[in-house]
Amino acid sequence: MRSVEWHNDRLCMIDQRKLPWDLELVDFATYESVIEAIQNMTVRGAPAIGAAAAFGLALAAQQNSTHDLDLLRRYLNTAAQELRRARPTAVNLMWAIDRMLPIVNSSDVASASDLRDAILTEAQVIAEEDVAINKRMAEHGAALIKDGDTILHHCNTGMLATVDYGTALGVIRMAHEQGKKIHVLLDETRPRMQGARLSAWECKQFGIPFDIIPDTASGYFMHRGEVNIVLVGADRVAANGDTANKIGTYQVAVLAKENGIPFHPTVPTSTVDLKIASGAEIPIEERDPAELLTPYGMALVPPDYPVRNPAFDVTPARYITGIITEKGIIYPPFEVGLAAAKK
């Protein structure tokens, strides 16, 4: 099963809001519905969002039945810009759209029908590449994990956050499949509980031993010597190695540094944004206060209380041991290694 997949002229995605209670597959027939799914986190995770956006553009091509190639191109360019704005932090969204637009505007395409076919083909290529890239990352990262290790993981970076297999959880899955006896501590990852709901669900599917821990307990387990390595994902990596990831990652990185524990983001090179010099330039999404006031419909806080709800934070490169990519593990100086990996 894939989290994002094209099926019978529709985009099919797992509704991640329903897990772990229900595994529900949802069909999407319009690019506008894909935008809504990205915004409301039916689909989440940088690589999965990128693939969803690419397929969203394929849906846009189907929605417009014109035979006029120029009219279709104008329509698709408008749809592409709307998809691009769906969420601001995850660079894979912009990367996927930027990869699709040269096809939309190519002078080599002879007809509207050919353009529709070419766009869908490219979206499917992006999805297949994601799976292959994840497995290569997993192989590189699994070499860092020793038999008997306990791994601390924040948020969700597995098959649900990608088309399939995963980034940081993909590394953990690969180590488990290699027969290494490992244990995973999963930060619950408030306020949307991606660790407790999604990462735990994935670990359970694959038989990987785990414990869910409060976000506030990471330092406790590190200080007790119960963590050997920290693995996280990322939604954007700046040219200097600063990394934006799910809120709470920064404090985990600081605690790992304090306790002498390796800290490794795991990202495809498509998540590296060399146009941004440092994490200070990464836009941070602020989400609906309701995620804190009434999570899953439960009124935990009076509705008139003020709320700040950033979805991401930035981990400065000085706290990062190495960045696991499909091209290998990149170590400081990150400016050099990241630039080389993007070539």
pLDDT, one tens digit per residue, over 162-218 is 999 999 999 999 999 999 999 999 999 999 999 999 999 999 999 999 999 999 999
Active site residues: 235
Tokens linked to 82: 């709307």
Is 230 within 8 Å of 263 (Cβ atoms)?
yes
Question: What pLDDT is stored for residue 167 in this prediction?
Answer: 97
Percent composition of the chain: helix, strand, coil (DSSP 3-state, to 5): 45, 15, 40
CA 153 to chain centre: 14
Residues composing the chain: 343
The answer to whether residues 105 and 77 touch, using CB atoms and an 8 Å cutoff, is yes
What value does the mean pLDDT of the chain take? 96
Element (H, E) at 161: none
Predicted confidence band of residue 2 (pLDDT cuts 50, 70, 90): very high
Round the CA-based radius of gyration of the chain to a whole number and report it: 20
State yes or no: pLDDT of 263 exceeds 90: yes
Cα–Cα distances (Å) from 196 to 22, 193, 212, 265, in that order, read 15, 5, 6, 19
Do 335 and 241 touch, CB atoms closer than 8 A?
yes
| Integer Cα distance of 330 and 264 in angstroms | 10
The per-residue DSSP string of 275-342 comes to T--SGGGS---B--THHHHSGGG---S-TTS----BSEEEE-GGG-S-EEETTEEE-SSHHHHHHHHT
Average pLDDT rounded to a whole number, residues 222-238:
97
CA–CA dist 316, 332 (Å, integer): 12
Q: Does the pLDDT value for residue 8 go beyond 90?
A: no
Residues 191, 197, 200, 201, Cα dihedral to 10°: -160
Give Cα 336 distance to the centre of its chain.
Answer: 24
> Taking the mean position of all CA atoms in its chain, how far away is CA 56?
17
| Number of C-beta neighbours around residue 92 at 10 A | 27
pLDDT in tens, 37-92: 999 999 999 999 999 999 999 999 999 999 999 999 999 999 999 999 998 887 89
Beta strands in the chain (DSSP E): 4-7, 10-14, 25-28, 150-153, 183-187, 210-213, 229-232, 236-238, 243-246, 263-265, 272-273, 312-315, 323-325, 328-330
CA distance 147 to 128: 31
Pairwise CA distance, residues 176 & 209, whole Å: 9
Q: What is the pLDDT of residue 1?
A: 80
User: What sign has the CA pseudo-torsion 238, 242, 243, 244?
Assistant: negative
Q: 3-class SS at 226?
A: coil
* Residue 296: predicted pLDDT: 84
Q: What is the average pLDDT across 99-106? A: 95
pLDDT of residue 14: 97
What domains lie within the chain, and their CATH numbers?
4-134 (1.20.120.420), 143-341 (3.40.50.10470)
pLDDT value, residue 261: 98
What single-letter DSSP state applies at residue 194?
Answer: I
Judged against a pLDDT cut of 90, whether residue 133 lies above it is answered with yes
Report percent pLDDT > 70 for the chain: 100
Q: Which residues pair with 315 in a beta bridge?
A: 243
In sign, the C-alpha dihedral spanning 126, 129, 131, 133 is negative
Q: Which stretch of 10-24, 209-223, 296-310 has the lowest confidence by average pLDDT?
A: 296-310
Given this model, what pLDDT does residue 213 score? 98
Q: What's residue 288's pLDDT? A: 93
Name which of 24-28, 275-279, 291-295 the model is least confident about.
Answer: 291-295
Q: Give the whole-angstrom CA distance, residue 205 versus residue 199.
A: 10
